[in-house]
Amino acid sequence: MAKLYFSYSTMNAGKSTMLLQAAYNYRERGMRPLLFTSSLYVEDGIGLISSRIGISEPAELYGAADDLYHSVRDHLEAGKIDCVFVDEAQFLSPDQVWQLARVADRLKIPVMCFGLRTDFQGKLFPGSSELLAVADTLREIRTICECGAKATMVVRQNTDGRVLTEGEQVSIEKSVYVSLCRKHWEEAIGRWPVKGP
């Protein structure tokens, strides 16, 4: 039975690397994966899934108004699709999450989504919220805080290293994000004074 999967974490945990490795494994076995990424990640008119370790692969782009169920169904006309991979799944709309659920349920194609769970203010992204609600399988990809504890939160910094607590939810400049444990995130954004426990 095909399922909808959501693998989530903070920044720099290796989500895109895992996606690209899994897609490679499908191809190595003679299967056809279909890759999607957010239209926020277009480079020279091409969708690109890139990993910090230097690997990348072209992908179909999706925007907020796109119907992903119909897109996958259209791709099926060109040949069998064995798995759908979605990078930056936090940018999916709630409707698009349901469209991907229909891909699994009605087209019988597994869908693997990878993305952030929360933004720099500790709020769920709409796509992540819907995936947490309806995905068949949830998997946390772990990374660590500077203290060695599990990182579950992310802060956004300006170029001077000052932590930002306001602003638009979406900013794709990866260099301005730092993954932290909940305790250090609270201290960084000023929710808790740094005076002992």
More confident residue, 3 or 197: 3
Three-state DSSP state, 59: strand
Q: Annotated catalytic, 146?
A: no
Model pTM?
Answer: 0.88
Distance CA 158, CA 120 (A): 12
* Cα 182–Cα 22–Cα 7 angle in degrees, nearest 5: 25
Q: Which of 43, 88, 166, 186 is catalytic?
A: 88
Q: Is the pLDDT confidence value at 195 over 60?
A: no
- Confidence band for 169, pLDDT divided at 50, 70 and 90: low
Residue range of the domain that includes 54 = 4-141
* CATH classification at residue 127: 3.40.50.300
Residue 67 lies in a domain: yes
Residue 52 lies in a domain: yes
Give the model confidence (pLDDT) of 10-33 as tens digits: 888 889 999 999 999 999 999 999
Q: Is the pLDDT confidence value at 54 over 90?
A: no
Q: How many domains does the chain have?
A: 1
Residue 157 lies in a domain: no
Residue 178 lies in a domain: no
Residue 171 lies in a domain: no
Give the model confidence (pLDDT) of 77-95 as tens digits: 999 999 999 999 999 999 9
Torsion, Cα 151 156 159 163, to 10 degrees, reads -90
